[in-house]
Amino acid sequence: MSDSLSCTRKSYTYRKYVKLGFKNTPIQPKRSELKNRSAFALQRHLTFKHPDICWSGVPAISVNMDIVGTLNIPEERVYFDILTASTQTLSGRLVA
């Protein structure tokens, strides 16, 4: 690394990071024509090629990590059409 990007003092090294703004990134904010946030719909309709099925719901996947929740949490998220990715054994039942 060049000296302009990293500095060494005693026994530790830290890097000077360049701060990026919207002009440096390919993602730009877009002006919305909605009057308020409640007019925004989270529901999306997805059609999968293989298998040929349609799904509608909120495209957010919540993951149950390190027993943060119980088996009731994925069952409750079904009512809101939110996906849950669980790969743990809880209370002797396999959740997958």
pLDDT tens per residue across span 16-75:
777 777 777 776 677 888 888 888 888 888 888 888 888 888 877 776 555 556 667 777
The answer to the question of residue 77 being in a domain is: yes
The answer to the question of residue 87 being in a domain is: yes
The answer to the question of residue 31 being in a domain is: no
The answer to the question of residue 48 being in a domain is: yes
* 3-class DSSP assignment, residue 90: strand
The answer to the question of residue 33 being in a domain is: no
Residue 86's pLDDT band (cuts 50, 70, 90): low
CA distances from 66 to 41, 63, 87 (A): 31, 10, 10
User: In the chain, how many domains are there?
Assistant: 1
The answer to the question of residue 35 being in a domain is: no
The answer to the question of residue 74 being in a domain is: yes
pTM recorded for the entire structure: 0.41
Range of the domain at 13: 6-26+40-94
